[in-house]
Amino acid sequence: MNILTARKRAQGLGSAKSGTEHHWSMIVTSVGLIVLIPAFVFTFGQALGGTHEEVIAYYQRPFPAIVAILTFLVGFIHFRGGVQTMIEDYVHGLLEKVLIVAMICLSYAAAATGVFAVAKIAL
């Protein structure tokens, strides 16, 4: 016989207090990517097929470099949020925490690598 109240049964199973923030982060990065992905494809397409010197000269201009850097940053922040949600939904226990930390490190390392590559070309 279960004599717990509804409140006692639900205690500890409620909101983690970060769902709304995470949702808005995903919405904002999605909207940002709606603008950035076509701009990136357009700017990358103009450099495609050029010689090494032409591509370097093209990405030394501010607009293509800024679009590429913003696409890397916003894309990997969006990736981090999506993969974190997937891990939280399907993996539990200590492995969940380990995978989330590893995924966060991987996404920021990939974003930093992309930004470094474009900055090295642009500067």
Question: Is residue 54 within 8 Å of residue 109, measured between CB atoms?
Answer: no
Angle between helical axes of 62-90 and 19-47 (0-180°, round to 10): 140
Identify the pLDDT of residue 73: 97
- pLDDT tens, N- to C-terminus, the chain (123 residues): 566 666 666 665 555 567 788 899 999 999 999 999 999 999 999 999 999 999 999 999 999 999 999 999 999 999 999 999 999 999 999 999 999 999 999 999 999 999 999 999 998
Which position has the token pair 């590559």?
117
How far is it, in rounded angstroms, from Cα 86 to Cα 90?
Answer: 6
Query: Residue 22: its pLDDT value, please?
Result: 87
- pLDDT at site 74: 97
Which residue carries 């993996």 as its tokens? 91
Fold for the domain defined by 19-122:
3 helical TM bundles of succinate and fumarate reductases (1.20.1300)
* pTM (2 d.p.): 0.81
Integer Rg of the chain from CA: 21
In DSSP notation, 43-105 reads HHHHHTT--HHHHHHHHTSHHHHHHHHHHHHHHHHHHHHHHHHHHHHH--SHHHHHHHHHHHH
